[in-house]
Amino acid sequence: MQLTVGDKAPEFTLRSTEKAEVSLGDYRGKNVLVLFFPLAFTGVCTAELCGVRDNMKKYETVNAEVLAISVDSLFTLEKFKESENLNFTLLSDFNKTSSRAYGSLYEDFVLGMKGVSKRSAFIVDAEGTIRYAEVLEDAGQQPDFSKIHEVLESL
């Protein structure tokens, strides 16, 4: 399913690296940047999430939370978060339900891997409506963070 601007964001409840259940609805009243990424500890994913880490002040000034989601186990994500000193929530979509609901799942990825999250970015506003949607087919590319910041600043 292809989600577009104006759609209601699919609700999800996933486990964080702290092993707590985190739901999108927990952030009602705030803008949320939902990032799906293929795999922890890979080059482009590390660069992307470290870039987010280094720009957290920008997200904080526009009342935005960041949730980064992959199909990695929460244990792998915990080590990744620790290794890269990431300062936002990482969530495990190990069962692939959220990636699928957001149209962000490779059925076939590289090296025979199946069911890996596509690199994607969604801005969900305070009422739960999608205000930005970008799903990349090329895992070597990153979302358009300048456009993401522009949209967040306009909310």
**Given 3, 14, 39, 45, the catalytic residue:** 45
Got the DSSP string for 32-53? EEEEE-S-TTSHHHHHHHHHHH
What is the rounded CA–CA span in Å between residue 63 and residue 152?
9
Question: Which tokens belong to 72?
Answer: 């990695």
What is the rounded CA–CA span in Å between residue 8 and residue 129?
5
What is the rounded CA–CA span in Å between residue 21 and residue 43?
28
**Phi and psi (nearest 5°) for 26?**
-60, -20
Q: Within 10 A of 72 (CB to CB), how many other CB atoms are there? A: 24
Question: Which tokens belong to 137?
Answer: 């087919």
Cβ-contact 72, 49 below 8 angstroms = no
Would you call 45 a catalytic residue per the annotation? yes
> Which residues carry out catalysis?
45
